[in-house]
Amino acid sequence: MGIPTIKNEKQYEALREKGYSKQKAARIANTPDAGVKGGHAKPYEQWTKADLYEQAKKVGINGRSKMTKAELIYALRHN
């Protein structure tokens, strides 16, 4: 497997400078619309488990298929 491509290099570098791990910075920088501000999303507690699962899939959280809704929320907020 090759080295993954960073979709938003500027955002990745900014996150690394803030102290984020390489893995977490890459996940955030590779998430579609991650750099777009808006603040219009509902809190994760109001999302369905299926929506949380899809978001976890987008950001590359491992083990998501076995997680409860609460575990998905925790993983999305802390990974």
What are phi and psi for residue 12, nearest 5 degrees? -60, -50
- pTM score: 0.54
Q: What is the pLDDT of residue 65?
A: 94
The single residue listed with the structure tokens 């491992």 is 62
18-22, 23-27, 30-34: range with lowest mean pLDDT: 30-34
The single residue listed with the structure tokens 């925790």 is 74
Q: What is the pLDDT of residue 1?
A: 46
Which residues contact residue 61 at a Cβ distance below 8 angstroms, ignoring those fewer than 6 apart? Answer: 72, 75, 76, 79
- Does the pLDDT at position 36 exceed 50? yes
37-63 residue pLDDT tens:
666 678 889 999 999 999 999 888 999
